[in-house]
């Protein structure tokens, strides 16, 4: 199979080049092509936002031999949050995103956690950063984090189990995790991985399929419209305050599982309040990584990933690359 032309974001381009490259995807089918099969707007449904802001911070030295440099990762998180919020300190950045009264749920992804090997260090950095900003451990709940983290820091134990009454999200219904009744704010901390059904698993799928009782039921048709419909539930959408994508080591093929031959050390953290925009950028990063490995793209553009098109139409965020305000920083 010939190597595909790469018209997507590369980790080393400037924002100006990024926007220029992203605009070249206009030849691909537009989001409106999916609107023909989309359900009619729901009462109170938001219109798609016009812009989004994504910050990527990269270091060539944060990952070495599958080990993560904790202090450097802390600097990356701080730089990302200060750039996103335009605040001068890490503490004020957190307070621009969260309320003092919030009980914060850090939603990780347990799939391939041990093989990728970055969650322990990232969880440590996130917990300590929130503590430094004034949140006590009693207001931090770790979801799908290694049990050793919960024991070491004595964070608030997660409420186990699922609601007794199922929630209807339009394309289906299921019982939501009871932890959604425990937390008032969600910080979503997904991996960046390919997915054999959805094309990509990142922010949106980490929420949709990680917070329902029977996720296997919602994998048909590329997981669409299920991913978008579940995330659109007020219990999830209204509590989602920040997304921190763990792209330190990305799974560029064979996901959502991983092995040493399917991981590329990108050394990046991406942050945004917009989960759709981060997934769209994630498609471009995976495409670029796969192109360098001689593999075909997972999709010609983010708009061709069906669940992203649906999420855009539901007003959950921006799926068009050229509508994303993209800042890229390099540390170290």
* Per-residue pLDDT tens digits for 10-20: 333 333 334 33
Question: Is 0.85 surpassed by the pTM of this model?
Answer: yes
CA atoms within 13 A on the CB side of 157: 3
pLDDT-wise least confident of 42-51, 86-95, 241-250, 251-260: 42-51
pLDDT in the model for residue 268: 98
- Whether 96 has a pLDDT exceeding 80, the answer reads yes
pLDDT in the model for residue 51: 85
* Per-residue pLDDT tens digits for 135-160: 999 999 999 999 999 999 999 999 99
Q: Between 70-85 and 119-132, two packed helices, what is the crossing angle to 10 degrees?
A: 60
- Domain positions in the chain: 15-25+50-330
Rg of the Cα atoms in the chain? 19
* Per-residue pLDDT tens digits for 270-304: 999 999 999 999 999 999 999 999 999 999 999 99
- Whether 257 has a pLDDT exceeding 60, the answer reads yes
What does pLDDT average to over the chain?
Answer: 88
* Percent share of the chain, pLDDT over 70: 85
Per DSSP bridges, beta strands 191-195 and 185-188 are: unpaired
Residue 275 β-bridge partners: none
pLDDT in the model for residue 59: 98
**Whether residue 256 has a cis bond before it, omega within 30° of 0:** yes
Task: Give dist(CA 250, CA 149) in Å, integer.
Answer: 22
Task: Give dist(CA 284, CA 126) in Å, integer.
Answer: 26
Task: Give dist(CA 186, CA 298) in Å, integer.
Answer: 28
Q: Architecture of domain 15-25+50-330 in CATH?
A: 3-Layer(aba) Sandwich (3.40)
């Amino acid at each position: 199979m010939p190597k595909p032309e790469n018209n997507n974001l590369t980790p080393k381009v400037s924002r100006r080049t990024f926007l220029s490259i992203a605009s070249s995807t206009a030849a691909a089918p537009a989001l409106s092509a999916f609107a023909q099969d989309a359900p009619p707007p729901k009462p109170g449904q938001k219109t798609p936002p016009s812009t989004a802001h994504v910050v990527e911070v990269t270091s060539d030295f944060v990952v070495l031999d599958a080990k993560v440099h904790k202090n450097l990762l802390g600097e990356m998180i701080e730089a990302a949050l200060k750039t996103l919020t335009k605040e001068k300190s890490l503490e004020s950045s957190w307070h621009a995103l969260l309320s003092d009264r919030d009980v914060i749920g850090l939603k990780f992804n347990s799939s391939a956690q041990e093989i990728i090997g970055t969650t322990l260090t990232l969880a440590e950095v996130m917990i300590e950063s929130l503590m430094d900003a004034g949140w006590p451990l009693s207001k931090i709940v770790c979801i799908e984090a290694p049990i050793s983290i919960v024991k070491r820091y004595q964070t608030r134990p997660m409420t186990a189990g699922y609601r007794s009454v199922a929630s209807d999200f339009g394309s289906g219904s299921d019982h939501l995790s009871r932890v959604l009744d425990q937390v008032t704010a969600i910080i979503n901390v997904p991996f960046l991985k390919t997915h054999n059904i959805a094309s990509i698993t990142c922010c949106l799928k980490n929420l949709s399929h990680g917070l329902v009782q029977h996720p296997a039921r919602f994998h048909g048709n590329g997981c669409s419209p299920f991913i978008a419909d579940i995330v659109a539930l007020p219990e999830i959408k209204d509590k989602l305050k920040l997304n921190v994508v763990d792209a330190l080591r990305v799974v560029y093929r064979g996901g959502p599982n991983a092995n040493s031959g399917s991981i590329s050390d990108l050394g990046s953290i991406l942050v945004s309040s917009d989960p759709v925009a981060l997934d769209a950028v994630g498609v471009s990063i995976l495409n670029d990584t796969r192109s360098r490995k001689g593999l075909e793209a997972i999709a010609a553009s983010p708009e061709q990933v069906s669940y992203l098109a649906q999420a855009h139409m539901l007003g959950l965020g921006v799926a068009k690359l050229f509508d994303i305000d993209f800042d890229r920083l390099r540390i170290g």
